[in-house]
Amino acid sequence: MSWDEWWRRRRRIWDEDEFFDIDRIFEDMMKLLKEFEKRMFEEMREYRFEKPREYERVEGPFIYGFSITIGPDGKPVIREFGNVRRVRGKPSIVEEREPLVDVFESENEVTVVAEMPGVDKDKIDVKVTEDGKTLIINASNGGRKYYKEIELPAKVDPSSAKASYKNGVLEVKLRKTGKEESKGIKIKVD
């Protein structure tokens, strides 16, 4: 086969409508692809810059943890801490961290130990509610904020409270009471 014959055959194939249709189909596909890319870029820009998500507004750090201890009845007790909480089954970030807290009960005393690193002791506010059944810990020092309400295992006498803070650990000791009447009191941290 000579060069001229080969060229004539190729030219005949190129001149047929089939190849023109393929070219048109390819051009249409490229136009659709460019339109798709343009729309996706616009949607991403609109979603990212004009509709910020809930967690993009909250600045970190995000802290979540839990501790597992065995209670006096032999059942595990799970306590969560940090600033990530579940609200209606979804995670929610709050400004205050929930410190890791352990509650110990002896015959005459209730001891509460809370880990709150990075806080000055004069910035810690510890209170017992009027009914003597709840201890409230509130601390704020610059970017670190802690808040926790602890249900005590027994009624306590707020006036007997002694608190100490050393190396980021707060320890509050409260004497148990059988009295029905007690008034809430602020506890001085040593």
The domain spans of the chain are 3-50, 56-187
pTM (two decimals)? 0.57
Cβ atoms within 10 Å, residue 113? 15
3-state secondary structure the chain: CCHHHHHHHHHHHHHCHHHHHHHHHHHHHHHHHHHHHHHHHHHHHHHHHHCCCHHHCCCCCCCEEEEEEECCCCCEEEEEEEEEEEECCEEEEEEEEECEEEEEECCCEEEEEEECCCCCHHHEEEEECCCCCEEEEEEEECCEEEEEEEECCCCEEEEEEEEEEECCEEEEEEEECCCCCCCCEEECEC
User: What pLDDT sits at residue 82?
Assistant: 80
User: What pLDDT sits at residue 137?
Assistant: 93
- Domain 56-187: give its CATH architecture: Sandwich (2.60)
User: What pLDDT sits at residue 180?
Assistant: 47
User: What pLDDT sits at residue 181?
Assistant: 46
| pLDDT tens digit at each of 190 positions of the chain | 565 665 565 555 555 555 556 676 677 777 877 887 777 777 666 655 544 455 455 566 777 787 787 877 888 877 777 877 777 777 777 778 888 898 999 989 999 999 998 889 899 999 998 888 899 999 988 878 899 999 998 899 888 889 999 999 999 999 998 654 445 566 767 6
